Amino acid sequence: MLRTARVLAAGACLGLATPVVASAQPPPREPLPLYTLDVRGAFPLLGQSVDSAASLGVAPAQLPGRGLGVSAGLHVYPIRLKGWAIGFGGEWLRARARQDTPPVAPATTGVTIARRLDSLSAQLSLNFGHRDGWSYLSGGLGPLAFDTWDDADEPDGVRATTLNYGGGGRWFTTPHLAFTFDVRFYATRPSEPTTIVAARAKQTVMVISVGVSVR
């Protein structure tokens, strides 16, 4: 009789505990949202091209090697499955850099070297994660201007169609706002000098960007 009572009591405790355990389970992970809008500060590593420096008559070390800018993007995710999604969108980037050079006799003032990196590209991404946080790999293609010139003039460089690729992530800490970062590589093409813009050799430019994302 006592053994039966113990069995019944244990069963009752197990029955009471089961809903508690079930309620403590994390909610199921939802797929990615339908779209995201990104705004980030951009930090391009422009390098110091020997070809560009020679066109302007300065040393490579006198070229500004780092820039500062902004990037923005809109991405939609029409194919969303559990744990991954395919996205389509567009990215815009604008970055600038300037550096003064010392004067060379008989001149009493130096020149200011300016550089720009402007891009507008369509993007295709493969995303891994869930609605509140995911990482991605992506590639894009579009016109890009990567120019170096004497800041006394206005640039007249061409905007060649350029491949870019990279990856990053988004982590939502509120229902609509996330922290996001991106590391991207632009496979720039070589170009001949113009009357204003310096020559450029083939170069891969890395851009690191950090900002916020809205869904």
Is 98 domain-assigned? yes
Is 185 domain-assigned? yes
pTM of the model: 0.83
pLDDT at 1 over 80: no
Q: What angle do CA 115, 112, 209 make, to 5 degrees?
A: 30
pLDDT digits (tens, 9 = 90+) for 70-81: 999 999 999 999
One-letter identity of residue 206 = M
Is 20 domain-assigned? no
How far is it, in rounded angstroms, from Cα 37 to Cα 125? Answer: 14
Residues whose CB is less than 8 angstroms from the CB of residue 113 and which lie 6 or more positions away in sequence, other chains included: 56, 58, 62, 63, 64, 98, 99, 100, 101, 148, 149, 150, 151
Q: What percentage of the chain carries pLDDT values higher than 70? A: 84
Is 19 domain-assigned? no
Specify the pLDDT at position 6: 46
Domain that holds residue 204: 29-214
Q: Based on the number of CB atoms within 10 Å of its own CB, is 202 exposed (0-12), middle (13-18) or buried (19 or more)? A: exposed
CATH assignment of the domain containing 50: 2.40.160.20
Tokens 């509140």 found at? 132
Domain count along the chain: 1
Nearest to 69 by CA among 36, 93, 98, 48: 93
Mean pLDDT value of segment 47-62: 91
Mean pLDDT value of segment 161-190: 96
How many other CB atoms are there within 10 angstroms of residue 53's CB atom?
19
Using pLDDT thresholds of 50, 70 and 90, give the confidence band for residue 108.
Answer: low
Specify the pLDDT at position 110: 76
pLDDT digits (tens, 9 = 90+) for 119-172: 999 999 999 999 999 999 999 999 999 999 998 788 876 789 999 999 999 999
Is 58 domain-assigned? yes
Is 9 domain-assigned? no
Average pLDDT, the chain: 87
Using pLDDT thresholds of 50, 70 and 90, give the confidence band for residue 105.
Answer: low
Q: Which residue has the higher pLDDT, 105 or 127?
A: 127
